Amino acid sequence: MAPSRAIYSARTALRRVSPIVVPQRRCLSAYGYEQAKVLALSTFGEPKDVLKLHSHSIAPPHGDLLTLRFLASPINPADINQIQGVYPTKPVFTTALGSTDPIAVGGNEGVAEVIAKGGSVKGVEKGDWVIIKKQGFGTWRTHAQTKADEVVVVKGEDREGLKPEQVGTVSVNPMTAWRMLQDFVSLKEGEWFVQNGANSGVGRAAIQLAKLWGYKSLNIVRKRETGMDELKADLMSLGADAVVTDDEFEAKGFRDQVKEMTNGGREPIRLGLNCVGGPLVNSMAKHLAAGAHIVTYGAMSKKPVSLPTGLLIFKDIHFDGFWVSRWSDKNPQDKEACVKEVLNLTQQGKFTDVPMSPVTWNHDTKQDELIDAVQGTLEGFRSGKGIFVFGNT
373 within 8 A of 107, measured Cβ to Cβ: no
Distances in Å between the Cα of 333 and the Cα atoms of 153, 204, 346 are: 12, 25, 20
Q: What's the rounded Cα separation, in Å, for the pair 235 and 241?
A: 9
- β partners of residue 147: 65
Q: What's the chain's Rg over C-alpha atoms?
A: 26
| Residues noted as catalytic | 87
* Bridging pattern class, strands 129-132 and 65-74: unpaired
Phi, psi dihedrals of residue 114, rounded to the nearest 5°: -75, 120
Q: What's the rounded Cα separation, in Å, for the pair 339 and 152?
A: 9
235 within 8 A of 204, measured Cβ to Cβ: yes
Alpha helices in 93-132 (DSSP H): none
* Bridging pattern class, strands 293-296 and 269-274: parallel
Distances in Å between the Cα of 138 and the Cα atoms of 61, 91, 255, 360 are: 19, 8, 46, 18
106 within 8 A of 39, measured Cβ to Cβ: yes
Residues 6+ apart with CB under 8 A from 3: none
Angle between the 201-213 and 173-183 helix axes, to the nearest 10 degrees? 50
